[in-house]
Amino acid sequence: MQHPIVPLNRNQRFCFTCSPHVTCFNACCRDLNQVLTPYDVLCLKQHLKMTSAHFLAEFTQTHTGPETGLPVVSLRFSDDKKLACPFVTATGCRVYPARPASCRIYPLARGVSRNRETGEMTEHWALIRETHCLGFLNGKSQNVDQWVQDQQLAAHNLENDRMLALISEKNRHRPGPLTPTASKRVYTALYDLDTFRDRLPSIDDIVETADGPQVIAHARRDELALLHLAMDWVRKAIFTGLPQDR
């Protein structure tokens, strides 16, 4: 049997198309462990015009990652036999413009390695060729860069790489599980951005530059800037800070 994961370089071409005309359409939107990154949650809650707290309560579940010790947020699928994604419909995804990176990237897989000395990131790509997927039969020929552009993946990759860098710092400075208090703070900062924004006056010390007030004011208006500020706070207050109960 052909191995389902095939290494792929950026210039190699592959054929794939997913649409309602493919008979297995929507079949891959069921019975998954659909992990969401902080940027995924931001995009989804903005698209749905919900607060982060409301989105998280209605559509997600949380557990602690066994390798990172960090809170992991995933979509809560239906409890019936179909185990469907909460956003899948008969005609497709109802949040398609804001779909998570893991949905956008399929049938590709992306890995990233970091040079410890230079910090330079290197991408590694593979093709996931599952036997049940019929999108390969008459798909459009394209390479990795064309797929990334077509699926509007660049922003997701950039923001998710920021999260990978943060996880790397956590593993370096705080290996193992976090305390319950620290884990809750990380969850609020990275995923529940609206609640984190409400607490900004009490965390002014995370911006140590002279333009700190302007940085915080910008974060109040721009949620992506808020996410970046939240990551910086997690890095300083939780992973490299001194308090013992962090």
* pLDDT in single tens digits along all 246 residues of the chain: 455 889 999 999 999 998 888 989 888 888 888 999 999 999 999 999 999 999 999 999 999 988 788 999 999 998 777 789 999 998 889 999 999 999 999 999 999 988 777 778 889 999 999 888 999 987 889 999 999 999 999 999 999 999 999 998 898 888 888 889 999 999 999 999 999 998 876 665 565 555 667 888 888 899 999 999 999 999 988 888 645 454
Return the pLDDT at 9. 93
| Pair 190, 148 in one domain | no
Whether 74 and 35 have beta carbons less than 8 Å apart is answered as yes
| Pair 29, 146 in one domain | yes
Return the pLDDT at 177. 86
Return the pLDDT at 204. 53
Q: How far, in Å, CA of 136 to CA of 119, rounded?
A: 36
Return the pLDDT at 83. 87
Residue 213, classed as helix, strand or coil, is helix
| Pair 202, 103 in one domain | no
Locate 120 and state its tokens.
Answer: 């330079």
Residue 113 lies in a domain: yes
Q: What angle do the packed helices 38-47 and 52-59 form, to 10 degrees? A: 100
Q: How far, in Å, CA of 57 to CA of 48, rounded?
A: 14
Residue 169 lies in a domain: no
- Select from 128, 159, 190 the last residue of a domain: 159
Report CA torsion sign: 102, 70, 5, 84.
Answer: negative
* Residue 152 region by backbone torsions, left for phi larger than 0, else alpha for psi between -120 and 50, else beta: left
| Number of domains into which the chain is organized | 2
Whether 5 and 128 have beta carbons less than 8 Å apart is answered as yes
Output 84-92 pairs: Cβ under 8 A, ≥24 positions apart: 84/29, 84/30, 85/29, 85/30, 85/32, 85/34, 86/59, 87/29, 88/26, 88/29, 88/30, 90/26, 91/20, 92/20, 92/25, 92/26
| Pair 134, 17 in one domain | yes
| Pair 130, 82 in one domain | yes
| Pair 197, 145 in one domain | no
Residue 167 lies in a domain: no
Residue 93, classed as helix, strand or coil, is strand
Q: What one-character DSSP code corresponds to residue 1?
A: -
Q: How far, in Å, CA of 179 to CA of 163, rounded?
A: 20
| Pair 131, 42 in one domain | yes
Return the pLDDT at 80. 73
Overall pTM > 0.75? yes
Residue 190 lies in a domain: yes
Residue 166 lies in a domain: no
Q: How far, in Å, CA of 193 to CA of 238, rounded?
A: 17
Dihedral angle at the C-alpha atoms of 222, 228, 231, 237, nearest 10 degrees?
-80
Return the pLDDT at 206. 61
| Pair 35, 144 in one domain | yes
Q: How far, in Å, CA of 173 to CA of 167, rounded?
A: 10
Residue 246 lies in a domain: no
Residue 168 lies in a domain: no
Return the pLDDT at 72. 95
Output 60-66 pairs: Cβ under 8 A, ≥24 positions apart: 60/36, 62/187, 64/177, 64/183
| Pair 132, 60 in one domain | yes
Domain carrying residue 216: 175-239
Return the pLDDT at 1. 43
Q: With CA atoms as reference, report the closest residue to 169 among 101, 69, 244.
A: 69
Q: What per-residue string of b and e applies to 167-187 under the rule 16 or more CB within 10 Å gives b?
A: bebbeeebeeebeeebbebbb
Residue 95 lies in a domain: yes
| Pair 155, 226 in one domain | no
| Pair 116, 220 in one domain | no
Whether 30 and 82 have beta carbons less than 8 Å apart is answered as yes
- Select from 132, 159, 186 the last residue of a domain: 159
Locate 146 and state its tokens.
Answer: 């064309």
Q: What one-character DSSP code corresponds to residue 139?
A: P
- Select from 159, 183, 203 the last residue of a domain: 159
